[in-house]
A and B are shown apart, each in its own frame.
Chain A
Amino acid sequence: MDLNRNRKILLVAVTAIIMIGLVIVYPYLIPSEPEREITINGAGASFPFPLVDKWIAEYNKVKKNVKINYQSIGSGGGIRQHTEKTVYFAASDAPLTPSQAANASNTLHIPFTIGGVAIIYNVPGAPMGLKFSGEVLADIFMGKISTWNDPKLVELNPNVNLPDKDIIVVHRSDGSGTTFVFTSYLSEVSEEWKAKVGRGTVVNWPVGLGGKGNEGVAGLVSQNPYSIGYVEFIYAKKNNIAWGYLKNAAGRFVEPSLESFRAAAAAAAVTLPKGDESWAEVSIIRGVVRNTQAVDAYPITSFSYFLVYKELNVLPNMDEYTARQLVEFLWWTIHDGQNYSAELDYVPLPSNVMARNEETIRMITFNGKQLKG
């Protein structure tokens, strides 16, 4: 009996070891590249993660020896890693504040994609495309407008039979670039909001429920009748939720879409600083929210930025070859990479932003030597 059992155990153990061995060895059976393989580490915002992941995969097909690794640990985490120089590039939904920039001097900002925040709601009986204005939104999220049939909402939507029900506000519970963008917008359109709540990745919401992640907010809104919330546009699209039309400075009610985000970015891009200057005041929102010429612009739009040092020798273990590969990748993302944006519902860069980025990337040096001519 004992001998049998021991043999059984031996057999299973040997099988297990062989199987695990196969699992570990499997990828090494795939032929590898003769050229020197390098790894480039990046970290940052989770909003652009799917896009950056797509770029990494596609770029690896182009340059098979370059493996890029992006950690979506959040803009805050990305900025911290960038400051501590533990990554070669970072991504953030917000530009560096002056104090952050002081801790990470000579950082270049490269906007690489654009995103927009949609206002989603769940009002049984109401159609898609309820109209909102900035002031009304601020009042709703402050709790000053608390029912759907409030006169201000009725005024904007005269043809809709808005019910006499309490508005359930839904916001983000976790820190997020989406919250930063949305509260930036509310701060621009409402002095009271700016003074009482302000903008940030986390704020003290006066009213409402907190959902975790865009998914959490979308989930709460779709499950709670008479609720309203804000999410990255793609979550509204993929979750089959109604979104609102927002009044822009030109007086038009614009729906969130790749085109309207792009229009906003193009309108705001005229005021972009140079790559190595301070971007703390850069905001598509600010460039658009009072811009009466931006007819098709959707106001709640923002850039996502790559952050990279101007002189790459400050990064530990960096050499010229790797530095050059990093620069080539960044160049690729703002050109070929943009072709992949739309299918993932990210907004391709308008040409004036692209031009600015080309300038910026040309500023990158290693040991003083310019890396992209």
Chain B
Amino acid sequence: MKSKTSFSKIAYLKAKIEGDEIFRIVSALFALTTILLVGLMVYELTRGSWLSLQKFGLLFITGTTWDPVFTLNFGALPLILGTLTTSAIALAIGVPISIGIGLLLSEYVPKRLGFFVSFMVELLAAIPSVIYGLWGIFVLIPFLRNNAYPYIQAVLGFLPLFSGPIYGGGVLTAGIVLAIMIIPIISSVSRDVLSAVPHSQREAVISLGATKWETCKIVMSYAKPGVIGAIILGLGRAIGETMAVTMLIGNKFKVLPSSFFDAWYTMAAIIANEFTEATSDVYVSALIHVGLTLFLISLIVNVIARLIVWRTLRLVKGVSRG
């Protein structure tokens, strides 16, 4: 860097407190802000849940009653299961579609058309949750109840998951709408990540005689961590989605639904439904406790997602990420 004179030490120190170091510290501070805010949120959530924590403790997570009238006993197990199930359905349906669209936009479609198609997909992101809910009630549910679910039941009805009465809403419907809602996030980010893969990768494989699909596979493996990042964002949206879910899932507090067509409940939905009308202190505290539980579940899900990322990164170690 600088010449090796006695000035170099001063110059070195000057460089240290100049631009680079400052920038590093500043960006670190910004990043820490997030941790600070989340920490504050957890603190407030814990404070608000205190009454409920005192009364139920850890049994809250395994509790299966919700009685704000007589015994004031609350438990969150059905809510946890409901949240996880609807999110899983959303991912199962949404991820393949989103990745398909991401691939389409980055590999298959010329730039101009891609511009247009990207907008169409991002329009899905611009639709307010409430509108998803209303559309779900007045358009999707009648359609599913009259045209889709009966056929599914006719084919798969021997499985307990697909038996039982159909009223149109319920677990599967909520999962479907969640899938639609997470498609824009996952596909947009996937598209960006996939299209940023250097052309050298594609060219190398094509020169070896690969088909389009085989090229895609290579591109995807290069961008896999980014795609998984996109999926995690989508998962976050699915777990936390409130409005649309509560308008479609039926809001029934029970440990297990009788089938995919049955009504259920999620953590976010019960908070949205009952918080403003909750009267007794224990009741309010229990609802905040559900919020705290949601945070914990989110934590656990993210740990699992992280493990998956770590494992896939190991598998694609050969591909240099730079």
Q: Indicate whether A and B are direct neighbours in the complex (CB within 8 Å).
A: yes
On A, residues with C-beta under 8 Å from B are: 73-77, 79, 97, 100, 168, 173-177, 197-204, 209-212, 216, 219-220, 223-224
Q: Is the beta-carbon distance between B250 and A76 smaller than 8 angstroms?
A: no
Closest to B142 in A: A223
Task: Pick from B40-48, B99-107, B274-282 the stretch touching chain A.
Answer: B274-282
Q: Is the beta-carbon distance between A175 and B69 smaller than 8 angstroms?
A: no
Q: How long is the Cα–Cα vector from A190 to B69 in the complex, in angstroms?
A: 17
A74 touching B276 in the complex, CB below 8 Å, given contacts A198-B70, A202-B68, A216-B137: yes
Q: Is the beta-carbon distance between B276 and A77 smaller than 8 angstroms?
A: yes
State how many angstroms separate the Cβ of B77 from the closest Cβ of chain A. Answer: 16
Apart from A175-B274, A223-B137, 15 more pairs, CB < 8 Å = A74-B277, A76-B277, A79-B279, A168-B167, A173-B246, A174-B246, A175-B275, A175-B276, A198-B70, A200-B68, A201-B277, A201-B278, A201-B279, A204-B69, A223-B142
User: Which residues of A are found within 8 Å of B68, using beta-carbon distances?
Assistant: 200-203
Identify which of A201, A204, A216 contacts B66 (C-beta below 8 A). A204
Q: Is the beta-carbon distance between A209 and B279 smaller than 8 angstroms?
A: no
A173 touching B251 in the complex, CB below 8 Å, given contacts A75-B277, A198-B70: yes
A-B contact pairs, 24 of them (CB 8 A): A73-B276, A74-B276, A74-B277, A76-B277, A76-B278, A79-B279, A173-B250, A175-B273, A175-B278, A202-B68, A202-B277, A203-B69, A204-B66, A209-B169, A209-B250, A210-B251, A210-B263, A211-B251, A212-B133, A212-B251, A220-B169, A223-B137, A223-B145, A224-B167
Q: How long is the Cα–Cα vector from A215 to B106 in the complex, in angstroms?
A: 43
Closest to A219 in B: B137
User: Which residues of A are found within 8 Å of B133, using beta-carbon distances?
Assistant: 212
Q: Which of B231-279 contact A (CB under 8 A)?
A: 246-247, 250-253, 263, 272-279
Type the 1/0 row for B128-150, where 1 means its CB is closer than 8 Å to any CB of A: 00000100011001100100000
State how many angstroms separate the Cβ of B261 from the closest Cβ of chain A. Answer: 12
Identify which of B70, B263, B272, B274 contacts A209 (C-beta below 8 A). B263
State how many angstroms separate the Cβ of A120 from the closest Cβ of chain B. Answer: 16
Q: How long is the Cα–Cα vector from A197 to B275 in the complex, in angstroms?
A: 20
User: Which residues of B are found within 8 Å of A210, using beta-carbon distances?
Assistant: 250-252, 263
Q: How long is the Cα–Cα vector from A199 to B69 in the complex, in angstroms?
A: 7
A216 touching B279 in the complex, CB below 8 Å, given contacts A204-B69, A223-B168: no
Q: How long is the Cα–Cα vector from A176 to B253 in the complex, in angstroms?
A: 17
Identify which of B69, B247, B273 contacts A200 (C-beta below 8 A). B69
User: Which residues of B are found within 8 Å of A74, using beta-carbon distances?
Assistant: 276-277
Q: Is the beta-carbon distance between B69 and A209 smaller than 8 angstroms?
A: no
Q: Is B67 close to A, CB under 8 A?
A: yes
Type the 1/0 row for B81-95, where 1 means its CB is closer than 8 Å to any CB of A: 000000000000000
Q: Is the beta-carbon distance between B274 and A202 smaller than 8 angstroms?
A: yes
State how many angstroms separate the Cβ of A217 from the closest Cβ of chain B. Answer: 11
Q: Is the beta-carbon distance between B250 and A197 smaller than 8 angstroms?
A: no
User: Which residues of A are found within 8 Å of B138, using beta-carbon distances?
Assistant: 219
Identify which of A100, A174, A200, A209 contacts B167 (C-beta below 8 A). A209
Q: How long is the Cα–Cα vector from A338 to B168 in the complex, in angstroms?
A: 42
Q: Is the beta-carbon distance between B279 and A100 smaller than 8 angstroms?
A: yes
Closest to B279 in A: A76
Q: Is the beta-carbon distance between B247 and A197 smaller than 8 angstroms?
A: no
The binding surface of chain B is classed by DSSP as loop
User: Which residues of B are found within 8 Å of A203, using beta-carbon distances?
Assistant: 68-69
User: Which residues of A are found within 8 Å of B253, using beta-carbon distances?
Assistant: 204
Compute the total of residue contacts between A and B using a CB distance below 8 Å: 83
Q: How long is the Cα–Cα vector from A65 to B202 in the complex, in angstroms?
A: 69
Q: Is the beta-carbon distance between B67 and A176 smaller than 8 angstroms?
A: no
User: Which residues of A are found within 8 Å of B145, using beta-carbon distances?
Assistant: 223
Closest to B65 in A: A204
Closest to B66 in A: A204
Q: Is the beta-carbon distance between A212 and B246 smaller than 8 angstroms?
A: yes
User: Which residues of B are found within 8 Å of A97, using beta-carbon distances?
Assistant: 279
Q: How long is the Cα–Cα vector from A334 to B278 in the complex, in angstroms?
A: 28
User: Which residues of A are found within 8 Å of B250, using beta-carbon distances?
Assistant: 173, 209-210
Type the 1/0 row for B56-86, where 1 means its CB is closer than 8 Å to any CB of A: 0000000000111110000000000000000
User: Which residues of B are found within 8 Å of A100, using beta-carbon distances?
Assistant: 279
State how many angstroms separate the Cβ of A91 from the closest Cβ of chain B. Answer: 13
Q: How long is the Cα–Cα vector from A312 to B230 in the complex, in angstroms?
A: 54
Q: How long is the Cα–Cα vector from A75 to B252 in the complex, in angstroms?
A: 22
Closest to A198 in B: B69
Closest to B168 in A: A223
State how many angstroms separate the Cβ of B83 from the closest Cβ of chain A. Answer: 16
Closest to A204 in B: B67
Q: Is the beta-carbon distance between A223 and B141 smaller than 8 angstroms?
A: yes
Q: Is the beta-carbon distance between A173 and B273 smaller than 8 angstroms?
A: yes
Closest to A170 in B: B167
Q: How long is the Cα–Cα vector from A273 to B250 in the complex, in angstroms?
A: 40
User: Which residues of B are found within 8 Å of A77, using beta-carbon distances?
Assistant: 276-277
User: Which residues of B are found within 8 Å of A209, using beta-carbon distances?
Assistant: 167, 169, 250, 252, 263
Q: How long is the Cα–Cα vector from A224 to B279 in the complex, in angstroms?
A: 32
Q: Which of B137-166 contact A (CB under 8 A)?
A: 137-138, 141-142, 145
Closest to B67 in A: A204
User: Which residues of A are found within 8 Å of B251, using beta-carbon distances?
Assistant: 173-174, 210-212
A174 touching B274 in the complex, CB below 8 Å, given contacts A216-B247, A223-B142: yes
User: Which residues of B are found within 8 Å of A201, using beta-carbon distances?
Assistant: 68, 274, 277-279
Closest to A174 in B: B273
Q: How long is the Cα–Cα vector from A75 to B277 in the complex, in angstroms?
A: 6
Q: How long is the Cα–Cα vector from A210 to B277 in the complex, in angstroms?
A: 16
User: Which residues of A are found within 8 Å of B137, using beta-carbon distances?
Assistant: 216, 219, 223
User: Which residues of A are found within 8 Å of B142, using beta-carbon distances?
Assistant: 223
User: Which residues of B are found within 8 Å of A73, using beta-carbon distances?
Assistant: 276
Q: How long is the Cα–Cα vector from A200 to B107 in the complex, in angstroms?
A: 57
State how many angstroms separate the Cβ of B53 from the closest Cβ of chain A. Answer: 20
User: Which residues of A are found within 8 Å of B169, using beta-carbon distances?
Assistant: 209, 220
User: Which residues of B are found within 8 Å of A198, using beta-carbon distances?
Assistant: 69-70
User: Which residues of A are found within 8 Å of B276, using beta-carbon distances?
Assistant: 73-74, 76-77, 175
Closest to A103 in B: B281
Identify which of B69, B168, B263, B277 contacts A174 (C-beta below 8 A). B277
User: Which residues of B are found within 8 Å of A204, using beta-carbon distances?
Assistant: 66-67, 69, 253
